[in-house]
Amino acid sequence: MGYQILKNHKKKIQKNNNKIQKVGKDMAWCFRNIRRHMCMLMRQNFAQSCEKKLNDQINLELKACHQYLAMAYHFDRSDISSPGLHGFFLKASAEEREHAEKIMTYVNKRGGLIVLSSVPEPLPCFASSLAALKYALKMELEVNRHLLDLHALAGKESDPNLCDFIEANFLQEQVDGQKILADYISQLERAQNDVGAYLFDKYMAGGMHPAK
C-alpha cells in the first residue's frame, strides 16, 4: 500500500515537472519571437535565404577557428615543437573567429537572427607539417567557395548591401590567404626531409610573407 502511494506521488511530481518544463519552453519561444519581431521592424531587403546562408557561413568560420586552434597546439607539443606553425595556426584561428563575429554583427544590423550550431570535433593531429598545410588550404578553399556562393545569392536576391559587405571584408583576404598557404606548401615540398622541415619552420616563424 505504502509503495503504491509513493509510486503515485512520484508520478504527480514527474507530471508537474513536465508542466514546468513546457511553460519554460513556451516562455523561451515567446521571448524569441518578441525579439524576432523587434528585429523585423528595421529589416529591409534582407531575404531569408541570405540570412540562412550567412548563418551557415558563421558556423563554417567557427569550424575553421576550432580546427586551426587544434592544429596550433598539435605543433606546440614537445615531441613536435614547431613554433613557426604553432604561431601561424594560432593567428589563423583568431582570424576565423574574428570573421564569424563580424558576420554576426552584420546579421544583427540587418535585422536577422543568429543561429549557432554545434561545431564538429576538429582533427587532433597530423602526420606532418605538409599534411597540415594541405588540409588548411583545402579548408580555406571550402570557406571561399561558400563566400562566393553567398555573394552570388546576394546578387540574385538584389541585395547590394550584402554584396558590398562580402567584397569589402572577405573576398580579397581569402585569395591572399590561399596564396600564402600554397607558397608554404611549395616551399615545404622542396625541403623533403626533417632538416628541411626544421629550417622551414624557422623561416616561417620569421615571417615568409608580410602581414596581411
Distances (CA, A) of 127 to 24, 38, 123, 135, 149: 48, 50, 11, 11, 32
Number of neighbouring beta carbons within 10 Å of residue 22: 10
Distances (CA, A) of 168 to 26, 36, 119, 162, 174: 41, 28, 27, 10, 11
Decide: 86 and 73 in contact? Cβ < 8 Å. Answer: yes
Q: Is 174 annotated as a binding residue?
A: yes
Q: Is 99 annotated as a binding residue?
A: yes
Q: Is 151 annotated as a binding residue?
A: no
Q: Is 96 annotated as a binding residue?
A: yes
Question: Rounded distance, CA 83 to CA 129, Å?
Answer: 12
- In the annotated binding site for Fe cation, the residues are 61, 96, 99, 140, 174
- In the annotated binding site, the residues are 61, 96, 99, 140, 174
